[in-house]
Amino acid sequence: MKSILENRPALAKQVGDVAEVAGYLWQKGWAERNGGNITINITEYVDDEIRGLKPITNPVSFGVYLPHLKGCYFFCKGTNKRMRDLARWPMENGAVIRILDDCKSYVIIADNPVCPTSELPSHLSMHNFLIGKGSTYKAALHTHPIDLIAMTHNRAFLEKDKLTYLLWSMIPETRAFCPKGLGIIPYKMPSSIELADATIKELEDYDVVMWEKHGICAVGENIMEAFDMVDTLSKSAQIYLTAKSMGFEPEGTSPEQMEELKIAFNLPK
């Protein structure tokens, strides 16, 4: 069977980048079993031939009405599929979906009928939110970083922007490359519409949000950028943890040093 990626190098590159990041997630130890999910908006790579492809599944509802997604196409990790498998065989562990005109259901069009991630309501809600506000972001990533999840088990860290400032203060890179900080979403049932709604509310102010005691969610221009932000935040968490395990409270960069970075990098916050 011919893959949708054949003779479409730009689209193949996007899926290749997803596979590369999936490998990193596994190597980082953030992707136990089927943990985590990735979706990317590939509508700009879709040609008339793809638009004409017959669905290979019946329509499936994703449970929310998302008007900005009409006619959009996404590559999605499959539910219950492993990141380490997605890394090697992306088209066997993920699929391309088309959003139908009712804006609340999809069909799979290629290559295989791999059912999309159970977090599809959150992912599609994020993409809908991004398109609605005119953003050029195309990627959404959810993963299970050990250090950052552990931090959400401490109630004191769940206060608004407590973790943002703590993580920013561990290394200048985090301040510069995760400039909006880290939003916090109180625990909600995985895959729920409630979690999707809470996530897009928090995206008003942040590009990266923690799902308390579950994982992290990041949106970005592309999947590499989304991954880089999570990686940077996790590095900060590691520095904090390392200092603590050496028996002291890390000093952190001072408010003056952070202000200096804000000016130098022209940061929003």
Range list of β-strands (E), the chain: 37-41, 60-61, 73-77, 94-99, 105-110, 139-143, 182-185, 208-211, 215-220
Tell how strand 60-61 and strand 37-41 pair up.
unpaired
3-state secondary structure of 124: helix
Give DSSP secondary structure letters for 154-200: SGGGGSTTHHHHHHHTT-HHHHHHSTT-EEEE----TT-HHHHHHHH
User: Are 31 and 99 a contacting pair, CB within 8 Å?
Assistant: no
Judged by CB under 6 A, which of 19, 36, 46, 83 binds ligand 13P? 36
Active site residue 119: yes
Nearer to Zn ion, 126 or 170 (CB): 126
Residues 176-215 that bind Zn ion (CB under 5 A): 215
Q: What's the closest the beta carbon of residue 18 comes to Zn ion, in angstroms?
A: 17
Q: What's the closest the beta carbon of residue 217 comes to Zn ion, in angstroms?
A: 9
Q: With binding defined as CB under 6 A, does residue 55 bind ligand 13P?
A: no
Q: With binding defined as CB under 6 A, does residue 188 bind ligand 13P?
A: no
Tally Cβ neighbours within 10 Å of residue 14: 22
> How many residues are listed for the chain in this entry?
269
Q: What's the closest the beta carbon of residue 165 comes to ligand 13P, in angstroms?
A: 27
Choose from ligand 13P, Zn ion, none: what does 34 bind? Cβ within 5-8 Å by kind: ligand 13P
Q: With binding defined as CB under 6 A, does residue 37 bind ligand 13P?
A: yes
Q: What's the closest the beta carbon of residue 82 comes to ligand 13P, in angstroms?
A: 8
> What token pair was written down for 98?
């088309």
CA distance 14 to 5: 10
Would residue 108 be called left, alpha or beta, if left means φ above 0 and alpha means ψ between -120 and 50 degrees? beta
User: Are 42 and 12 a contacting pair, CB within 8 Å?
Assistant: no
Choose from Zn ion, ligand 13P, none: what does 80 bind? Cβ within 5-8 Å by kind: ligand 13P
Nearer to Zn ion, 78 or 215 (CB): 215
Nearer to Zn ion, 37 or 236 (CB): 37
Residue type, 14: Q
Nearer to ligand 13P, 37 or 41 (CB): 37
Choose from ligand 13P, Zn ion, none: what does 14 bind? Cβ within 5-8 Å by kind: none
CA distance 46 to 66: 20
What is the CA angle 77-78-83, rounded to 5? 60
Judged by CB under 6 A, which of 3, 43, 105, 118 binds ligand 13P? 118
Q: Which residue among 6, 20, 44, 119 is the active-site one?
A: 119
Residues 225-254 that bind ligand 13P (CB under 6 A): none
Q: With binding defined as CB under 5 A, does residue 121 bind Zn ion?
A: no
Give the footprint of Zn ion on this chain (CB under 5 A). Answer: 215
Give the footprint of ligand 13P on this chain (CB under 6 A). Answer: 34-37, 77, 79-80, 117-119, 142, 190
Residues with catalytic annotation? 119
